[in-house]
Amino acid sequence: MRFEEQLLALVPRLRRFAMSLSRNEADGDDLCQMAIERALKSRDKWQPGTRLDSWAMTVMRNIWIDEVRARKRRAETFVAAEAGDCIGDGGDRRVEATVELGQVDRALATLPDEQREAIALVLIEGFAYKEAADILGIPMGTLSSRLVRGREALMQALGEVA
Amino acid sequence: MTIDTATRMAYVDGELDAIARRRVERAMADDPALAEAVARDRALRQTLGARFAPYVAAPVPDRLATLLDTKVTPISAAPRRSRFVSLGLGRWMQGAVIAATLVLGIAVGRQTAEIGPVATRDGALVAQGRLASALNTQLASTQPSDAPIRIGLTFRSTNGAICRTFEEQQLQGIACHAGGRWGLVRTAVEKRSGTYRQASSDSLASVAETMMAGAPFSAAAEIEAKDKGWQ
C-alpha cells in the first residue's frame, strides 16, 4: 500500500488523538491537517517496516507541543494585560469558557499536558507502554508514573462531578 | 501480598506477563478493595474510550481526506505549491504542475464553476473533465472545426501506449492512455520573457514524432482504437 493510503487509513485514529490532545474539534482538525502535511513532507524519515501509526502520532504530538508552547506565551501576554486592565474579571470568564465542556473534557482539562498525552496514548489509543514511551521520548518508568498520577487525577475530577 | 498502584494499572492496561497477571488476580480474590479499584480503572478506560470513539467512527472530513487523496484531485482553483511538493513529484514534474496550474488559474478565472482539464494522480498529471472526454470520444477526422478542444495526431508510442496530441485555448499537449486514464506526458506551456506563450502545433507534432512507434494512425485506425478503448 502506498504511503498516502496507509496514512489515510490512520486518519480516524489521528483525529481521535488530535481531539484528545486539543479537546476542541476545530483545533483538533487543524492539528490533524498540520500533522498530515508534515508527515507527507518528512515521509523520508519514516522507515518502512516500522509502525506508521506510532510515527504519525509522534509527528502530531511534536506539532502539538510547539502549539501549546506558543499558546502559553500568548496567554501570558494576555493575562498580564488583563490583570492591569480589568481586575476581578478573570473568574467569570473561566466559568464561561468551561461551561460548554462535557464532564470527561473538564476532567481531562485539569491534567498537566504530560499526563494527558500519556493517558491519551495508552487509555484512548491503546498503545503499549513501550510504544507510548517511544512516541513521547520518555523512559517507561516515567510513562508509568504519569499514567498513575494522570489516572488518579481523572478519577478524582470525575468523582467530584458525579 | 500488596499490589502497588502502578502494577494494578499495568494489569488493566494489559502490560503484565502471565505470572504477574495471575499474582494480581489472586490478590483481587483476597482483597475486595483491590478488585473495586481494578473495576474503576476499567471503567475509566471505557469512559475515555467512549468519549473519543465517535471520531474513529466518523467519516474523515474532506479537508483532511483531500490531503491524502490518491484518486483524481479536481483542480478547481490554483492549489498551494506545498501540496505538490508533498506528493513527492520529481523536480521537473513540479515545474510542469506549477506551469499547468498557472495556465489553469487563467482558465479557472475565466470559467469559475467548471473544473479544470488537469488533475494529479499518483504524482502525475492526468486529463479530467472536458479534456478527458475529448480524448476519449473525439475523432480528428470528424471533429468540428470550431471544437473547443482539438485532437491532432493519434499514435502508438514506443512504450506501447496510445497517445494523442490535443490543443485547446490554454493548454496543449500529448496525452497517453494508461490504466484507464489519459496521462499528460507533455504539456506545451512555455515561459518566455515573462509571458506564457503557447507552443506551436508544429513543435507538438515534432515531440510526438520522437515518441512514435511507426506512423500516426489513419482515420480508420483512430476509429478502431477508440472502439477498443484506446488499449
The answer to the question of residue A84 being in a domain is no
Are A105 and A44 in a shared domain? no
| Pairing assessment for the beta strands B195-198 and B124-127 based on DSSP bridges | unpaired
> Which three cell numbers mark A93?
470568564
Q: Which residues of B touch A16 (CB under 8 A)?
A: 52-53, 55-56
CA distance B169 to B189: 11
Between B114 and A141, the more confident residue is A141
A43 touches chain B (CB under 8 A): yes
B113 with B222, same domain: the answer is yes
- Taking CB atoms and an 8 Å cutoff, what residues of chain A touch B55? 12, 15-16, 19, 28
**Distance in angstroms (rounded) separating the CA atoms of residues A86 and A102:** 29
| Nearest neighbour of A16 by CB, restricted to B56, B70, B122 | B56
pLDDT average, residue stretch B7-29: 96
- Total domains present in chain A: 2
Do A159 and A121 belong to one domain?
yes
Its domain, for residue A50, covers: 1-71
- Indicate the residue of B44, B51, B70 with minimum beta-carbon distance to A4: B70
Contact A15 B15 (CB under 8 A): no
Task: Report pLDDT digits (tens) over B159-186.
Answer: 888 999 988 877 778 899 988 889 887 7
**Do the beta carbons of residue B121 and residue B181 sit within 8 Å?**
yes
What is the pairing mode between strands B172-178 and B162-167?
antiparallel
Are B150 and B195 contained in the same domain?
yes
- A6: enclosing H helix or E strand: helix A3-22
Residues 6+ apart with CB under 8 A from B66: B73
- The answer on B184 and B163 residing in a single domain is yes
Number of domains in chain B: 2
On chain A, the residues whose CB falls within 8 A of the CB of B70 are 2, 4-5, 8
Is B86's pLDDT higher than 70?
no
> Per-residue confidence at B18, pLDDT binned at 50, 70, 90?
very high
Residue B169: predicted pLDDT:
75
What tens digit of pLDDT does each residue of A69-127 get?
888 787 766 555 444 443 444 444 444 344 445 889 889 999 999 999 999 999 999 99
CA nearest to B11, candidates B21, B23, B1, B22: B21
Is the ipTM value over 0.90, yes or no? no
- Give the separation between CA B223 and CA B220, rounded to whole angstroms: 5
User: Is A94 a member of any domain?
Assistant: no
| Same-domain status, B18 and B88 | no
Judging by DSSP bridges, how do beta strands B162-167 and B150-156 pair with one another? Answer: antiparallel
The three-class DSSP label of residue A48 is strand
Number of Cβ within a 10 Å radius of residue B3: 21
Backbone angles phi, psi at B169, to 5 degrees: -60, -45
Asked if pLDDT for residue A31 goes beyond 80, the answer is: yes
Spatial separation of the C-alpha atoms in residues B101 and B170, rounded to whole Å: 11
Instruction: Measure CA A111 to chain center.
Output: 11
What whole-number distance in Å separates Cα of residue B114 and Cα of residue B125? 18
Residue B188: all three cell numbers together: 506545451
Residue-by-residue DSSP string for chain B: ----HHHHHHHHTT-S-HHHHHHHHHHHHH-HHHHHHHHHHHHHHHHHHHHHHHHHHSPPPHHHHGGG--S-B--SSPPPHHHHHHTT--HHHHHHHHHHHHHHHHHHHHSTTSPPSEEEETTEEEE-HHHHHHHHH--TTT--TT-SSEEEEEEEBTTS-EEEEEE-SS-EEEEEEETTEEEEEEE-EEEETTEEEEPPHHHHHHHHHHHBSSSPPPHHHHHHHHHTTT-
Closest Cα in chain A, distance from residue B96 (Å): 20
Residues of chain B with C-beta less than 8 angstroms from the C-beta of A122 = 13
* Residue A134: CATH number of its domain: 1.10.10.10
Q: What is the mean pLDDT of chain A?
A: 84
Q: Is residue A151 part of a domain?
A: yes
Structural domain of B200: 64-227
Give the residue among B125, B175, B124 at the shortest CA–CA distance from B150: B175
Rounded distance, CA A151 to CA B48, Å?
11
- Which DSSP symbol is given to A162? -
User: Are A114 and A158 contained in the same domain?
Assistant: yes
> Closest approach of chain B CAs to the CA of A12, in angstroms?
5
Instruction: Give the C-alpha distances (Å, rounded to integers) separating A49 from A52, A56, A62, A135.
Output: 8, 14, 22, 16
Average pLDDT, chain B: 76
Identify any residues that bridge with B174 across adjacent strands, giving them in sequence order: B165, B186
Q: How far apart are CA B99 and CA B116, in angstroms?
A: 14
Three-class SS state of A100: coil
Query: Do both B126 and B155 map to the same domain?
Result: yes
Q: What is the predicted pLDDT for the residue at B42? A: 94
